[in-house]
Amino acid sequence: MNISTEYPVWMIVFCFIAGVLYAAIMYYRNKRMDFSPLLTKILAILRFTSIFVITFLLLSPLLKITKQTNEKPIIVLAQDNSQSIIIHKDSSFYKNEYKQKLEKLIDNLSKTYDVRTFNFDDKVKENLSIDYNGKQTDISSVFDELITRYTNRNLGALILASDGIYNKGSNPLYTAGKLKAPVFTIALGDTLVRKDLLIQKLNYNRITYLGNTFPLQIIVNANKAKGQTAKLRVNKGAKEIFNKNINITSDSYSETINFTTEAKESGLQKYSISLSPIENEITLSNNRKDIFIEVLDARQKILILAAAPHPDISAIKQTLENNRNYDVQVALANEFTKSVTDYNLIIMHQLPSANNVMGKVFADLEKANIPVLYILGAQSNINQFNAANTGLSIAAKNQAFNDALPFAVNEFPFFTVSDESKKMLNYFPPLTSFYGNYKISTSAEPLLMQKIGNVATNQPLIVFNQNMGGKNGVIAGEGLWRWKLANYAQKNNTDAFDELITKTVQYLAVRIEKGLFKVSIPAVFDENQQIEFDAELYNDSYELINEADVNLTIFNSQGKKFTYQFNRTSNAYHLNAGIFPQGDYKFQAIVKLKNKTLTQNGSFSVTALDAEYLNTVANHQLLYNLSKQSGGEMIYPSDIERLSDLLKTRDDIKVVKYTQKKYDDLINLSWIFFLILGLLSAEWFLRKRNGGY
C-alpha cells in the first residue's frame, strides 16, 4: 500500500509550510491567548496536522493498494444424468456403488482443488443431483457452459462421466477443442450389443388435408434377434388400420415399411405404431411410438365473378381445379344471385365494370371481410375500382392501354415464387393494362412490376394489400391465358403459371381471424418441454389490451383440473404452465371484457420422448477421442480412484497467483473525514475548556 499524487512530490513541502504558518500565527503570534506552554504546543500540533491534511488533499492524492491472491485450479466434474446410463443390467451399480465412488472422489479432490460439480442431460444443471431421468443427452452443451463460465479462469481439468451417447446438439468433439483444459472421461454404460427390437424412425407429413391419402414410413431395427418374428401394428385410436409380420433374418436387421392411409377426420389425429416384444429384449420402451397429424378441413370455395366471358377465366379455373382443396365456381355478374359470404375468396374479373358497379356485392364483401382478387381489363370501371380501397389507385388517361411485360421484384414478403417460375416470366407475353399513373399505399406490396417495351417501370402489375380491414390482390391487366400458353410452349407444362395463380389464391384465401380473444399454443409437446401459452385480447376497435385477468383451466384425460392465471406482458399475455406428463389435454381460457365473457377452448398432447432408448450401445470411442485430443485420459468406473493421482502428476494444473492493483482517491475514504473532524474538534474542545474562543 502506498500513496501517490497527480502533482510533483516536492509540492508536499508547501502543505507543510501552510500548516506551520497557520499554527504559528494562531498560537505564537496571538498574545491575547493565555495558555500554558504545553497546551500551546498541543493546540499548535492539532492545528498544524489538520491544515496539513486538508492542503495535502488538494493535491488529489491516490491510495494504491496491491493485493496478491492465490487461485486454486478449478476441477469440473460433469455427470451424465440421462436414462441410457441405467438401461443395462448393471443399473444397480450406477444407482448405488458408483454414486459412493463419485462422492469419495469429490472429497479427495476438494482437499487440493476448487471442485465444481454439474449434471447434464438435454441441459446443464449446477451441482450433482443424479436420478438418471434425462430424456435427451447434449454433451456439447457441457463444453459451451464451461467456456461461458470459466474463460480467463484457472480451469485445471474437466472430468466428464458419460456413456458417450448423445442425441441432441452438435458433435462434442467440435466444441471440446475450444476448451483450454484437459478432459478426463469416465466411460460409463455397456458397449455390448444387446437383443433389442425397436422403431428406429418414422417419416410422415405432420399436416395433411381432409380426404387426402398420406404416406407413413416406418423404419424397424433389430439387434441380436436373428430367426425371431414380431408384428408391427398401426392403430388410430382403438382401431387397427395396418399390420405386418416382421421376420428377422440377421443379427443386425433393418426393414423399411411404407403404407398409406386416408385422413377421414379433421383436427389433430393420433396414430400409435407398436411392435410386439420378443423374448429377453433389453428394453420395451422403444417398441412403441405415437405420432400426431394435423388434418385440415381446408377445402375452400372460390368464386370467379366476371363482367363477361373471357379466356382468362377458363385458364384460372383449370389451374385451381387441379388442386382438390379448392371448390371453384364461375358466374357472370348480371346472373349472380347467391351470397358472397358463402365463399373464401372472390376473383373479380373486370369488375366493377361500366355496366355493373356491383354495389350490394361490394357492401357484403366489406361487411364480411372476404378477400378479393381484382383482375383489371378494358371493361373495368376504374373510378369505382379506385373507390374500393385496394391499396392501388390508377389515374387512367383517356381509357388508353399499354402492353405490360412482367418482371419480379427482389423482395416480396407474403410468399415465395420459385426461381424457375421467375425465369419463365421472361417468356410471358404482355398483359393489357391501363395507361396512367399508378399509386400504391404503404400497406401494399408488389409481386410483379410492369416493363413497357425494354423499359422497367415502377408501376405494379400484380400487387397485394394487407391491413386491419383484410387482404386483397390486384392483377392490373388482362390476358393471363396467354401466359399459360407461353408456359406450355416453352416447357411442355404449365407449372410456372400454375404456381403463380395457386400461391396467389392460397395467400388471399387464408382468412385473418379477428376474434377479440385468441390463445396460441402448439398442438404437440415433448414430455421434457415447458407448456407455454400466449394470449391476445382486443377491444372493439381491435386494439391490443391486457387490463383484464385471463384464467386458464387444463383438463387431463381423467378429468383432473389444473388452474392458472396468465401473466401480463407489454400488451398481451403469457403463461408457462410447466412440464406435464405424457397424455392428451384440453384447456379453456376465460376473460371478462366489460359485460362480455370471452372463452377460448383447445387441446394439446404431450408425447413420450424415447431418444435415450434408440441407441443403447455406449460410445466409448467418442470419450477416448475427447480425452486424447485434449491431453487427458479415459478411465473406467472401477478405476475412478486413479483420477486424483492423474491430476496431481500434471504440471499444467497448479495454483495461479494474481496481483491486483487498486487506486482510490484518498479524499473518498471516510476515515479521512473523521480524522480532520477529530483534529478540529479536539482543538476546539481544548481551547474552550481553557477559556479560549
| 475-490 confidence digits (pLDDT tens) | 999 999 999 999 999 9
Q: Return the pLDDT at 468.
A: 65
Q: Return the pLDDT at 1.
A: 64
Render the burial of 588-619: b for 16+ CB within 10 Å, e for the rest.
ebebebeeeebebeeebbbbebbbbbbbbbbb
Averaged pLDDT for residues 308-318: 95
pLDDT at 63 over 90: no
Q: Return the pLDDT at 4.
A: 76
Q: Return the pLDDT at 541.
A: 67
Q: Return the pLDDT at 693.
A: 62
**Domains observed in the chain:** 2-67+663-689 (no CATH), 73-189+617-654 (3.40.50.410), 196-293 (2.60.40.10), 300-509 (3.40.50.880), 517-607 (2.60.40.1930)
- Give the span between the Cα atoms of 78 and 117, in whole angstroms: 6
pLDDT digits (tens, 9 = 90+) for 132-171: 989 889 999 999 999 999 988 899 999 999 999 998 888 9
pLDDT at 260 over 80: yes
More confident residue, 427 or 414: 427
Q: Return the pLDDT at 111.
A: 92
pLDDT digits (tens, 9 = 90+) for 602-647: 999 998 887 778 888 899 999 999 999 999 999 999 999 999 999 9
pLDDT bracket for residue 474 (50, 70, 90)? very high
- Give the span between the Cα atoms of 139 and 80, in whole angstroms: 8
pLDDT at 27 over 80: no
Q: Return the pLDDT at 503.
A: 92
Q: Return the pLDDT at 655.
A: 85
Is residue 292 packed enough to be buried (19+ CB in 10 Å), middle (13-18) or exposed (0-12)?
middle
pLDDT digits (tens, 9 = 90+) for 543-590: 789 999 999 999 998 989 999 999 999 889 999 999 999 888 999 999
Averaged pLDDT for residues 379-390: 91
- Comparing 34-48, 126-140, 258-272, 309-323, the range with the smallest average pLDDT is 34-48
- Give the span between the Cα atoms of 536 and 233, in whole angstroms: 42
Q: Return the pLDDT at 152.
A: 86
What pTM was estimated for this model as a whole?
0.57
pLDDT at 182 over 80: yes
Can you tell me which residue has the cell 383432473? Answer: 560
| Percentage with pLDDT > 90 across the chain | 52
pLDDT digits (tens, 9 = 90+) for 499-514: 999 999 988 987 665 6
- Give the span between the Cα atoms of 527 and 324, in whole angstroms: 36
Averaged pLDDT for residues 655-659: 81
Mean pLDDT of the chain: 89
Q: Return the pLDDT at 254.
A: 93
pLDDT bracket for residue 185 (50, 70, 90)? very high
Averaged pLDDT for residues 490-497: 94
The strand order across the sheet containing 561-565 reads 524-526, 596-607, 583-593, 550-555, 561-565
The strand order across the sheet containing 656-665 reads 2-4, 62-71, 656-665
pLDDT bracket for residue 528 (50, 70, 90)? confident
C-alpha distances (whole Å) from 573 to each of 418, 546, 547, 663 are 38, 7, 10, 49
- Comparing 69-83, 210-224, 649-663, the range with the smallest average pLDDT is 649-663
Averaged pLDDT for residues 308-332: 92
Is residue 548 packed enough to be buried (19+ CB in 10 Å), middle (13-18) or exposed (0-12)?
middle
pLDDT at 10 over 90: no
pLDDT digits (tens, 9 = 90+) for 65-85: 888 888 899 999 999 999 888
pLDDT digits (tens, 9 = 90+) for 86-110: 887 778 899 999 999 999 999 999 9
Q: Return the pLDDT at 193.
A: 84
pLDDT bracket for residue 212 (50, 70, 90)? confident
More confident residue, 601 or 663: 601
Dihedral pair phi/psi, residue 618, rounded to 5° = -65, 145
Indicate the residue type of 643: L
- Give the span between the Cα atoms of 109 and 75, in whole angstroms: 8
Residues in CB range of 488: below 8 A, 6 or more apart: 494
pLDDT bracket for residue 32 (50, 70, 90)? low
Residue 574: other Cβ atoms inside 10 A? 12
pLDDT bracket for residue 595 (50, 70, 90)? confident
Pairing of the two strands 183-187 and 155-162: parallel
Q: Return the pLDDT at 298.
A: 62
Indicate the residue type of 390: T
Question: Which among 106, 107, 105, 116 has a CA at the least distance from the CA of 73?
Answer: 116
pLDDT at 31 over 80: no
